Amino acid sequence: MDSTLFIAWTMVAAASLTLAVVHALVWLLDRRRVDNLAFCVLAVSVAAIARIEYGMMRAATPQEYAEWLRWIHVALFFVALGLVLFVRLHFGSARMWLGWTVIALRGVVTLSNVLGPAGASWAVLRVDQMPLFGEYAASGVGAVRPVQWLATMTSILLFIYVLDAFVPLWRNPDREVRRRATVVGGGIVAFVLIATIQPQLVIWGVLHMPIMVSPAFLLMLGVMTYELCRDIVRSAGIEQEARRLRDDLAHIARVSTLSELSGSLAHELNQPLGAILRNAEAAQLMLEHKAPDLAELRAIMSDIRSDDQRAGAIIERMRALLKRNSIELHDVPLQPLAREVLALVHTDAAARRVTLDLAVPEDLPPVAGDRVQLSQVLLNLLVNGIDAVSESSRRRVAIAARRADERTIEVAVADSGHGIAPAILPRVFEPFVTTKAKGLGIGLAVSRTIIEAHGGRLWAQNNLDSGATFRFTLPVAAGG
Amino acid sequence: MSEPIVRVVDDDGSYARALSRLLTARGYQVTSYASGAELLAQLSSEPRGCVVMDLHMPGMDGLELQSELARRGLRLPVVFLTGAADIPSSVSAMRGGAVDFLEKRAPSEQLTAAVERALASDREQREVRERFAGLTERELEVLRHVLRGRMNKQIAADLGIHERTVKLHRTAVTSKVGVRSVAELATLARDAGLV
């Protein structure tokens, strides 16, 4: 059985089935990719056609030949179905009524061939054994029945349907779309044409050779696969790009928040630096004495060390905030995080006489998140809160956190300001929506992106008495 | 007579401690407080010296403390310190009578000079007040009328005394305070906080 024909047609069937499996997997992994499912149907049908064609070539009698013919119609129905859907789903430009007509007519032809007597559309009278690739293959000779007119018309309509779907793409002003239309559309159209013409010529008695459409269909599958893979690769690229943009935006937001805070950061740094300076000056003066107080000098040295560490911690916090990094999930205990962020805004708040409250229980389990990004969100919300109350009589901003349920922690940042105007409330998380004269309007948008990237939600509401509360949820860390 | 005291007020414990050490090493009598409220609670009615305080403090900030001191009639000269100086708060500090407004990391010489100026101003005020301290009730009353620019005749009528008695009181005032002109008297009276 190891003939060239057997090997060639088995390979066509195997290649089609492999493609079918791959695309079935793609569809299973992402159910929105229905075009991959259509492709899968198409590829399975092509494999079936390859098998049937091989059976026809090996047929010894007209009866045997006609029996195979009956089944090739079933496969052709699914080829038509798969192709019509694929072109529609993937290129979106097809006339669907034309597609449905093709499928319906193909259905009628298939039904009459499967349910009716053998050779409903083409009555095979005899089979000739003719040479092919150094072997003999059966080639049918017969009479055309009326149903065949319908079958031929269906094939022409299918060709028109495909051609029609690509014509607008060829006219598209976008070069990339035109290129795609030429390569993919041209490939599909050409192979559909070949696969349509060859059997028609055989059936109508113009060509005297075995029916061989599966190789052309396989090439068409190749073109489609190329297109689909490019799509998947491209969408992965887009996702990566989107992630990079999100990180960039978060970075910009951090920098702009920091520049708003830079005054108070300088103030905060000058605190320990000033203490170090004064201590060093004092020590210098004390050393000029004949009997310096060593205990006091030791106390000075230890104060200098801890103030140096304090300054270092401030710089470290700033650096961490400025660093451009993507999300890294760790177990993050909320209380120390909130304390750190409060320390960042403490000076600014004190200068504007805003009282900051912290109500995060010590025994709250850690959340799964990225320290830097979460502190970015808290910082944004706090700075907003401080801005919101700095004009009002009651100046209070509070951070609170609680366990909402087994797997969720809810954090709230509440202020006692004037609240958010109802007109703006639904839009506060949109980028570039701001009520601040110098604000960019990206803080809340970035905050929401960050929280959603953590699998949480961020929303805002006005309080019953005064001010607004921003709440967000975060997942409890796996161990918590 | 007690020593003048430099009172350091800063919520940042470490800075307050370091500054106190430096000023102590320079030979000043220093006490430090963590907040304005703490200072006010421990202040005697006739404090001597000056206050060196942080501008930004939680609760009562430096400017509020300054005006609270003035409200209580405590004329302690104030030196402000800040992490990073900004114009609006330095303006209101100086307008409130601050002796100086320095960054926390200002050179030690500037700091000492500011403290010196503050102590000197406290000393002068005290001296002037002492010069007025010897005046009797009646002489003070006459002095207030004089400073309002009233004639001897009017003062005599207001107080129900003879014009010559008013003249005698005036002479007593100028000789006790040690001035020769009314203009000089007015300047000193303002320094002493009588007007």
- DSSP assignment, residue A185? I
Which residues in chain A touch residue B57, judged by CB atoms under 8 angstroms apart?
A: 350
Give the tokens for residue A126: 């005899």
Q: Is the pLDDT reported for residue A372 higher than 70? A: yes
Q: Is the pLDDT reported for residue A211 higher than 90? A: no
| B52 and B15 assigned to the same domain | yes
Rounded-to-integer distance, Cα A138 and Cα A423, Å? 78
Block residue for tokens 């959603």: A452
Which parts of A30-145 fold into alpha helices (H)? 34-57, 62-91, 96-115
Which CATH number do you get for residue B61?
3.40.50.2300
Domain that holds residue B106: 5-127
pLDDT digits (tens, 9 = 90+) for B39-84: 999 988 788 899 999 988 877 888 889 889 988 888 889 999 987 7
What confidence category does residue A116 fall into, taking pLDDT thresholds of 50, 70 and 90? confident
pLDDT digits (tens, 9 = 90+) for B149-194: 888 888 888 888 888 888 888 888 888 888 888 888 888 887 776 6
B163 touches B153 (CB < 8 A): yes
Residue A474 is predicted with a pLDDT of: 94
| B31 and B111 assigned to the same domain | yes
When pLDDT is averaged across residues A362-382 and rounded to a whole number, the result is: 88
B89 touches B76 (CB < 8 A): no
Q: Which of A72-76, A152-156, A201-205, B26-30 has the lowest mean pLDDT?
A: A201-205
Q: Which residue of B has its CA nearest to A356?
A: B58
pLDDT digits (tens, 9 = 90+) for A13-48: 999 999 999 889 988 988 888 888 998 999 999 999
Q: ipTM above 0.90?
A: no
Q: Is B13 on the interface with A (CB under 8 A)?
A: no
When pLDDT is averaged across residues A199-219 and rounded to a whole number, the result is: 85
| B39 and B119 assigned to the same domain | yes
Give the tokens for residue A190: 């050409």
Q: Which residue of B has its CA nearest to A272?
A: B15
Q: Tell me, what amino acid is at A7?
A: I
| B26 and B44 assigned to the same domain | yes
Among the three residues B83, B101, B127, which one is the final residue of a domain in this structure? B127
B73 touches B94 (CB < 8 A): no
Could you tell me which residues of chain A have a Cβ less than 8 Å from any Cβ in chain B?
263-264, 266-279, 281-282, 285-286, 296, 300, 303, 306-307, 310, 346-347, 350-351, 353, 355
Q: Is B112 on the interface with A (CB under 8 A)?
A: no
Interface of B with A in 25-54 (CB under 8 A): 25-26
| B23 and B117 assigned to the same domain | yes
Which residues in chain B touch residue A274, judged by CB atoms under 8 angstroms apart?
A: 15, 18, 81, 83, 103-105
Rounded-to-integer distance, Cα A246 and Cα A252, Å? 10
Q: Is the pLDDT reported for residue A442 higher than 80? A: no
| pLDDT, chain A, mean | 85
| B153 and B90 assigned to the same domain | no
| B95 and B58 assigned to the same domain | yes
| B41 and B60 assigned to the same domain | yes
List of long-range contacts for A291-300, beta carbons under 8 Å, 24+ apart: A296/B21, A300/B18, A300/B21
Q: Which residue of B has its CA nearest to A275?
A: B15
| B109 and B30 assigned to the same domain | yes
Choosing among B22, B26, B103, which should be mutated to test the A contact, i.e. which has the most A CBs within 10 A? Answer: B22
User: Half-sphere exposure of B89 toward its Cβ, with a 13 Å CA cutoff?
Assistant: 20
Which residues in chain A touch residue B26, judged by CB atoms under 8 angstroms apart?
A: 285
3-state helix, strand, coil in chain B (%, to 5): 55, 15, 30
Q: Is the pLDDT reported for residue A348 higher than 80? A: no
What confidence category does residue A441 fall into, taking pLDDT thresholds of 50, 70 and 90? low
Q: Tell me, what amino acid is at A59?
A: A
pLDDT digits (tens, 9 = 90+) for B3-53: 899 999 999 899 999 999 999 999 999 999 999 999 999 988 788 899 999
**Chain-chain contact of B12 with A310 (C-beta, under 8 angstroms):** no
Q: What is the DSSP string of B50-84?
A: EEEEES--SSS-HHHHHHHHHHTT----EEEEESS
Which CATH number do you get for residue B146?
1.10.10.10
**Chain-chain contact of B21 with A300 (C-beta, under 8 angstroms):** yes
Which residues in chain B touch residue A342, judged by CB atoms under 8 angstroms apart?
A: none
pLDDT digits (tens, 9 = 90+) for B87-113: 777 777 777 778 888 888 899 999 999
B147 touches B108 (CB < 8 A): no
What confidence category does residue A105 fall into, taking pLDDT thresholds of 50, 70 and 90? very high
Among the three residues B80, B96, B127, which one is the final residue of a domain in this structure? B127
Closest CA to A460 of A436, A434, A433, A425: A425
Block residue for tokens 């198409």: A42
**Chain-chain contact of B22 with A274 (C-beta, under 8 angstroms):** no
Taking the CA of residue A390 and the nearest CA in chain B, the distance in Å comes to: 15
Among the three residues B109, B127, B145, which one is the final residue of a domain in this structure? B127
| B157 and B178 assigned to the same domain | yes
| B74 and B149 assigned to the same domain | no
Quick one: B58 exposed, middle or buried, by C-beta within 10 A (0-12, 13-18, 19+)?
Answer: middle
Q: Given this structure, which CATH class describes domain A327-480?
A: alpha beta
Task: Give how many domains chain B has, as a whole number.
Answer: 2
Residue A135 bridge partners (DSSP): A132
Q: Is the pLDDT reported for residue B143 higher than 80? A: yes
By residue count, chain B amounts to 195
